[in-house]
Amino acid sequence: MDTTTVPQILDGNAIAAEIKTEVAADIERLHAQGIRSGLTVVMVGNHAASEIYVRNKVKTSAELGMNSELVTPPATVTTGELQALVSRLNVRDDVDGILIQTPLPAHVDKKLLDQAVAPEKDVDGFHPINVGLLQSGHPRLLPCTPAGIIEMLRRTGISIAGKHAVVVGRSDIVGKPMAMLLLHENATVTICHSKTKDLEGFCRTADILVAAIGKAGIITPQMVRPGAVLIDVGMNRITSQEDFARFFAGDAKREAAFKKNGSVLMGDFDPHAFALASYYTPVPGGVGPLTIAMLMANTVRAARLRRGLPVSK
């Protein structure tokens, strides 16, 4: 890989805007046929970060011309009550996509809820049927974040076939489906996790390194092969002066934000690692916007699939 080029930023906002424009046009086409697509987001209880994410999802779907609905059961709601709520959404013809925002209160059984959502309305791609369809190479609705990452690589012209992709993190939401999508794109895939011995050694062999761990700055420059493509899924808030100085010393813009808010957002990569990359996703403004864009794309896809209308691959 070329190690002499200047690192290129993968601009998630720009790519997401492109996708959203396409989705809005498709929503318009469906509307002309008398179909109004709709997304319902269920957010249980109060969770500060979720509230921001959810507001963004609801706002974006409305902006693109969809019916947009937010349901907010209290934190005391039972799994049974949530299953009943989901069952009502499953049979509503004006609801194409159902998303249950996580994290959920500890007493709620997430697995049962994932199974309660009708697979054809499962815009998160978490239902076992959709997980199985992805695994078997016949994907129908894909988890938004990994699908967005593939879309970003594709639209940027970054080839995946034959590359060694290392995915750090094995969550059902990101790590596992990411690995599967990269495999379907003919990458050689390694999944690393908290029990991996010699994480550094694996990461250093990556042509494409995806970090989805949720630990600020854990991927250091020593762990990165010069010229690698770095994809940062982490979204961590750092609050200590020590962390700030370690990661962002000399960054005047971030320092002003840190002084004002007492915290800044950062990913799983130590930002110094980005200097070694051929391409990298910044935090914020990298992977995050793609997740929302793909949720919108999934909702319209679900609207089409449910009505037997054609969809892209």
Please state, in angstroms and rounded to a whole number, the distance separating the CA atoms of residues 138 and 160.
Answer: 19
The residue written with tokens 């008398």 in the block is: 34
Question: The tokens 């002309």 sit on which residue?
Answer: 32
The CA-CA-CA angle for residues 150, 48, 18, to 5°, reads 30
The binder of ligand GUN chosen from 96, 120, 124, 207 (CB under 6 A): 124
Name the residue whose CB lies closest to ligand GUN: 102
* Minimum separation from the CB atom of position 104 to ligand GUN (A): 9
Between helix 252-261 and helix 241-248 the angle, nearest 10°, is 170
Binding track, positions 133-172, relative to ligand GUN; x by CB under 6 A: -----------xx---------------------------
Pick from 68, 101, 298, 299 the residue near ligand GUN by CB under 6 A.
Answer: 101
Contact pick of 27, 86, 173, 233 for ligand GUN (by CB under 6 A): 173
Asked if 68 is part of the footprint of ligand GUN (rule: CB under 6 A), the reply reads no
Strands 264-266 and 236-238: antiparallel
304, 303, 302, 265: which is closest to 283 by C-alpha? 265
Which is catalytic among the residues 20, 26, 96, 101?
Answer: 101
Q: Shortest gap between Cβ of 166 and ligand GUN (angstroms)?
A: 22
Identify whether 57 is a catalytic site residue: yes
Reading the block at residue 146, the tokens are 């990994």
C-beta separation of 284 from 254 below 8 A: no
Q: Does 189 bind ligand GUN (CB under 6 A)?
A: no
Residue in 39, 98, 100, 231 binding ligand GUN, rule: CB under 6 A: 100
Could you confirm whether 251 is annotated as catalytic?
no
Interaction between residue 69 and ligand GUN (CB under 6 A): no
CB-wise, 190 or 291, nearer to ligand GUN? 291
Q: Does 86 bind ligand GUN (CB under 6 A)?
A: no
| CB of 148 vs ligand GUN, minimal distance in Å | 10
User: Among the candidate windows 94-102, 211-219, 247-255, 273-281, which touches ligand GUN by CB under 6 A?
Assistant: 94-102
> Is 8 labeled as catalytic in the residue annotation?
no
Segment contacting ligand GUN by CB under 6 A, of 60-68, 99-107, 132-140, 208-216: 99-107
For 208, which DSSP code? E
- Toward ligand GUN, which CB reaches closer, 282 or 288? 288
Query: Please, which residues have CB within 8 angstroms of residue 145's CB and are 6 or more apart in sequence?
Result: 173, 174, 178, 212, 233, 287, 290, 291, 294
85 binds ligand GUN (CB under 6 A): no
In whole angstroms, give the CA distance from residue 7 to residue 82. 46
- How many Å apart are CA 57 and CA 88, to the nearest integer? 21
Q: How far is 261 from 250, CA to CA, in rounded Å?
A: 18
Nearer to ligand GUN, 27 or 104 (CB): 104
Strands 279-280 and 8-9: parallel
Task: Confirm or reject binding of residue 131 to ligand GUN (CB under 6 A).
Answer: no
Residue 83 to residue 153: CA distance in whole angstroms: 37
d(CA 266, CA 246): 12
The residues pairing with 164 across neighbouring beta strands, listed in sequence order, are 188
Q: Which amino acids are annotated catalytic?
A: 57, 101, 124
Q: Which residues contact ligand GUN (rule: CB under 6 A)?
A: 99-102, 124, 144-145, 173, 291
